Structure 1
Amino acid sequence: MRLQRIQRALATAATLVALATLTACEDKEPGARPGTTPAAAPSQPAAAGGAAAGSGTDGITSLADAQRYVQQQTVSCEDLSTNPKDSRLPLTDLTTVGKWSVTQRGVCSDRVERGELIFYMTSDMKEFQTRYKQHVMDKIAAGNGTYGQTSRVFVGKNFAVTPTSTKTALLLSRSDLRILTCNPMSRVPEGYKREAALVEHCMLSDFVNSSDGSGSPNFEHPQNPDASEKPGQPAQGSLGLPKASSLNELKQLVHPHTVDCTNMSTAADAVAVSSIDYAPAVDGAPSAWGIKDRAICGDLGGERRAHNLNWLSTVSDMKTLQQKAKAAQQEDLKDGRLKATVSKLMVGENIVVETNDKSVRHGLYQLQFLYLNCEPGFKAPSGYRLEKSQVDGCVLTNYER
């Protein structure tokens, strides 16, 4: 009976006009969270060769080429071997040379994440994807209904690679490779690429699913503070945020005890300065972020590289600013964490300060500025401020992990 129910479900899924949104897995990966449902079909069909067959993977015709490609994604891949008896190959490998149109198979060591990457060169990517889909369907029909929900099968134009480490998968997800998924009960959250594969009812995506939550963050489940249950203070409303009517008034508020604005400039070329250690949270035209006036404080460079940089801004549209900052944080979080050199956005009522200096932020918290945090699942311990921002999925807080 169980097998019949599964077969009926698969038959129903196969009749959908749209392609199901999917995310697959390796043999050694446990099943994903139960209760997931297929997402909407992609809006654009894949190009010939699959969505991953862009310029980034064109010209890769050998295992050595594939190795160099993943190394360009800052992935460790050492001691490449084609020995079919190599002990680093998994006992339950997907396929071997001569099957699924695979012409070469190799394995290398991921020394940084203490894992391996298994490569498959293929003469026919559509055939490879067709056989992988059948492999997933066979597993499901045999009773393993969650098989394929945490895929690590990354495909390009002429090759596939399966990393054993989730952190490595996160790095590869930012490349032109795409994760092949063929389990009809999987889905890709909003905010990630969803593209058609070369076979029906499979999907190519940059979403790394993981049963332990260490994969790509799911931005569809924001952690907004609940006025009745949130652990931070105040229980309701806000304790208030600082405000200023001009850049000069903002400077007087923060200088000199919190932000050193001995050297301050509003010139556009100066405001655009950043360094290897200091980068603004606002990227691009300030007006597009809802910023009215903007200045930079610090040493802008010369004989020494720029340092002690902090940005001050008055804001005409705080909601737009927070929406843009949320999108920027989410792009960084797809790599697993926020970039350490990018300044944190410290929010007032109509003003913001951008800084990546922890001591500066500590002083700003004393002035009632709060940090805009858009990390999924973020919570502040009791006693710290945790307030609603102007965009869903973000909070204002004076707590830093």
Structure 2
Amino acid sequence: MRIKRTLTAAVLLTSLTTLTACEDARPSRSATVPPGVAGPSAPAPSSLAEAQKYVQRYASCEEMGTEPGDSRLPLTDLTTVGKWSVSERGVCTDRTERGEIIFYMASDMKEFQAGYKQRVMDKIAAGSGTYGLNSRVFVGENFAVTPTETKTALALAASELRVLTCNPTFAVPEGYEKEAALVEGCVLSDFVGSNDGSGSPNFETPQEDPAAGGAPAKPGQPAQGSLGLPRAENLGALKELVHPHTVDCTNMSTAPDAVAVESIDYVPVVSGDQLAWGIKERAICGNAAGDRRAHDLNWLDVVRDMKLLQTKAKAAQQADLKGDGRLKATASRLLVGENIAVETNSASIRHGLYQLQFLTLECRPGFSAPAGYRLEKSQVEGCVLTNYEG
């Protein structure tokens, strides 16, 4: 019995040891995604030349120079070689935006971030309370760049580099990535701030609220509720409402493969599973690509959950706005009724739908409409329904 118990214990110990070894070998999230760098795909070039090649994937960066007296360097530089663990510094010409991009190769990114934080704190203590709010310091795993032009910063925000911000009053706005920096009190994000509004759109900027104060925001607008939105119980009724005078549905299909069609000229609002967008029935009208290029594509939706549809459409619209604050010309707009919607990128069709009392979902920060246009609350915060396209 003693031998049997000893053997059993040995087998159990071996099993536990094997299990522990397997668990120890499993990589943790902190090991694969270290804080303070731009995620698992953060660039880590081995040289200044490689760092330049990486940046050139997103922005113009020509004629790299490393001389301390290069006239393209700013008069007040962020830091120099020998400080903040910077081993090499360079500057290239951003011909597209007529600016420069300064490079810093860092042997210790935590030391670099700590140095930048101290600079921000010193500036604030000296009376510049807003210093660093519109940071242009983009960091990777072992290098940083500071573009002089806002449009270049927006382009770099689409890369794996992240903006390092250490001003204690800064908060990453809704809709943008937020990651922990290597030093406490700083944050990494893909938000590019600016004083003139040319940076990343801030989706938390208040919209004009037509219900504020219980009074109409515009002459002729209701203090509560809506002036009325169209309704249809099914796709047949929706087609009858909009065809043929507004939306040409001579060629109309509800086949899943047809409805899922996209083209470079026509991008629908809804993507993927329509049920996940709160849509009960969906159809496409127009001519998909065949012998000719696709043309006149529009989508009709009968909606089961309008709040869900507007919520997901808001996220899609904000993703489109993140680049330059503008909606792509090929992107469809969502025009809604009470329980129906139409997706179209045609301005003439939208104006026809406004005559039928459809309203477009508008989520651009700070949007307002002139007197005489409809402006009503949507079912999601931060958006309005309107027939104005300013």
TM-score class, shorter? 0.7 to 0.9
How far does residue 191 in structure 1 lie from its aligned partner after superposition? 2.8
Partner residue of 1:368? 357
Does the 8 Å CA contact 2:300/2:341 hold for their aligned counterparts? yes
| Structure 1 residues 92-107: aligned runs within 5 Å | 92-107=76-91
Higher mean C-alpha deviation, range 94-103 or range 363-372:
94-103
Letter in 2 for 1:296: I
**Of the candidates 37, 44, 57, which is equivalent to residue 43 of structure 2?**
57
| Residues 305-351 of structure 1: CA deviation (Å, up to 9, x unaligned) | 22211001111111110011111111222212222211000111111
Q: Structure with the greater relative contact order (CA < 8 A, sep ≥ 6): 1 or 2? A: 1
Shift of 1:224: 4.4
**1:72 matched residue in structure 2:** 57
Partner of 1:313: 301
Residue number in structure 1 paired with 2:221: 234
- 1:108 equivalent to 2:92? Answer yes
* Map of 1:272 onto structure 2: 260
Distance 2:112 2:361 in 1: 45
Partner of 2:96, secondary structure, is coil
Looking at structure 1, the residues matched to 321 and 388 of structure 2 have their Cα atoms a distance apart, in angstroms, of 18
- Aligned-partner Cα distance in 2 for 1:306–1:168: 34
TM-score by length of 1: 0.84
Structure 2 distance, partners of 1:119, 1:46, is 26
Q: Whole-Å Cα distance in 1 between the matches of residues 178 and 31 of structure 2?
A: 10
Asked if the contact 1:222/1:392 (under 8 Å) is kept, the reply is: no
In 1, the alpha carbon distance for the partners of 2:264 and 2:250 equals: 22
User: Which residue is 2:342 aligned to?
Assistant: 353
AA of the residue aligned to 1:94: L
Quote the residue 1:389 is aligned against: 378
Aligned-residue RMSD, C-alpha = 2.0
- In the alignment, the residues of structure 1 paired with residue 194 and residue 330 of structure 2 have an alpha-carbon distance, to the nearest angstrom, of 27
**Residue of structure 2 equivalent to 1:15:** none
Match of 1:207 in 2: 191
Give the SS at the match of 1:396: strand
Question: How has the CA–CA distance of structure 1 residues 380 and 46 changed in structure 2, closer, same or farther, with 3 Å as cutoff?
Answer: farther
Whichever residue aligns with residue 285 of structure 1, its letter is D
Q: Which amino acid aligns with 2:130?
A: T
Q: Quick one: distance in 1 between partners of 2:32 and 2:183?
A: 10
Matched with 2:160 is 176
User: What's the CA shift string for 1:165-223, capped at 9, x where partnerless?
Assistant: 22222222222111112222222223322222112222212222222232222223331
Partner amino acid, structure 1, of 2:96: V
Q: How many residues align?
A: 356
Deviation at 1:71, TM superposition (A): 2.6
Q: Which has the larger radius of gyration?
A: 2
8 Å contact from structure 1 (residues 61, 121) kept in 2: no
* 3-state SS, counterpart of residue 72 of structure 1: coil
Which residue of the partner structure matches residue 330 of structure 1? 318
Q: CA shift at 1:50, angstroms? A: 2.3
1:301 counterpart letter in structure 2? A
How much has 1:144 moved relative to structure 2?
Answer: 2.3
Cα deviation, residue 88, structure 1 = 1.7
- Runs of at least 5 residues in structure 1 that lack an aligned partner in the other structure: 1-43
For 2:123, the equivalent position in structure 1 comes to 139
- Residue equivalent to 2:171: 187
- In 2, Cα distance between the equivalents of 1:257 and 1:56? 52
CA contact (8 A) 1:153 1:162 kept: yes
Shift of 1:232: 5.7
Judge conservation of contact 1:52–1:155 (CA < 8 Å) in 2: yes
For 1:282, which of 252, 264, 270 is the aligned residue? 270
Query: How far apart are the structure 1 equivalents of 2:347 and 2:95?
Result: 32
Deviation at 1:102, TM superposition (A): 1.5
- Percent of residue pairs identical: 70
Gaps of 5+ in 2: 1-29
Larger displacement relative to structure 2 (95-104 or 314-323):
95-104
- Structure number with the higher helix fraction is 2
AA of the residue aligned to 1:254: V
In structure 1, give the amino acid aligned to 2:376.
Answer: E
CA-to-aligned-CA distance 1:92-145 (integer Å, 9 cap, x gap): 111122322222222222233222211111121112112112222222233323
Whole-angstrom CA distance in 1 between matches of 2:97 and 2:112: 27
1:122 matched residue in structure 2: 106
Displacement of 1:354: 0.4
Aligned-partner Cα distance in 2 for 1:255–1:123: 65
In 2, Cα distance between equivalents of 1:154 and 1:353: 40
Q: How far apart, CA to CA, are the structure 1 residues paired with 2:313 and 2:217?
A: 23
Question: What corresponds to 1:156 in structure 2?
Answer: 140
Distance in 2 of aligned mates of 1:370 and 1:53: 40
Residues 265, 295 of structure 1: 8 Å contact kept: yes
TM-score normalised over the length of structure 2:
0.86
Alpha-carbon distance in 2 for matches of 1:219, 1:153: 22
The question of 1:379 aligning with 2:368 is answered yes
